[in-house]
Structure 1
Amino acid sequence: MELNRLFWGSRRGMLELDLILLPFLDNVYPTLEQDDKERYWKLLEAEDQDMFAWFLHREVPEDPDLKRIVDIVRANTGPTAK
């Protein structure tokens, strides 16, 4: 997927998600394996409220692919990022 489309797909209706996804897109996404990049594309199809709950550890995605990319995003964003 082209970077411009990813940028606009990563801009969400919630500022909190923008603050997670946009830095992830800039700093981590380019280093991902192709399978994980495709998982990120799938993540962008999720509802904002679902993503918000996942990133705040309130819920866990049922889909194993989404769970993997959510775990990667969590590990690389926020105060506990590597």
Structure 2
Amino acid sequence: MTASAVENTALIDERALSKLRWRCRRGLLENDLFIERFFDRYASSLTEAQAEGLRLLMDLSDNDLLDLFLRRKEPEGELMRPDVAEVLSLLRVTA
């Protein structure tokens, strides 16, 4: 395994987790519920790659993010990445 692959499978530390939780706060309650359940279930096992996928999703508007959570849309363009797909599938499972 390459150094970057090992780095991406490493668990994020408490400080990074705290920053990520803050970054994931949303204006739409429905999105917050998805994200809260995700953190309740996966916070202790979140990898660097998953955290990066989540950061990319958080760049979306609230409505676009909710459409992805509810399977009204699928990731397109720059979001068609394995880390985004993995996190999105975990977020959808926590619904």
TM-score class, shorter-chain normalisation, is 0.7 to 0.9
Structure with more of its chain in helix, by fraction: 2
Question: What code does the residue aligned with 2:88 have?
Answer: V
Radius of gyration: which is bigger? 2
Superposed, 1:29-44 pairs within 5 Å as 29-44=43-58
Give 2:80's match in structure 1, choosing from 58, 64, 69: 64
Q: Could you list the runs of 4 or more consecutive aligned residues of structure 1 that deviate by over 3 angstroms after TM superposition?
A: none
**Secondary structure, in 3 states, of the residue corresponding to 1:69?**
helix
Measured in 1, the distance between the counterparts of 2:16 and 2:85 equals 23
Distance of 2:80 and 2:55 partners within structure 1? 14
Structure 1 gaps, min length 5: none
Q: Aligned in 2, Cα 1:28/1:42: closer, same or farther, shift over 3 Å? A: same
Distance change in 2, residues 1:41/1:47 (3 Å): same
* TM-score normalised by the chain length of structure 2: 0.68
Equivalent-residue separation in structure 1 for 2:56 and 2:44 (angstroms) = 16
Deviations 1:48-74, CA, capped at 9 Å, x for gaps? 111100111111111222333212211
Structure with bigger RCO (C-alpha 8 Å, 6+ apart): 2
**Among the aligned pairs, what percent are the same residue?**
31
Across the aligned residues of Structure 1 and Structure 2, the Cα RMSD in angstroms comes to 1.8
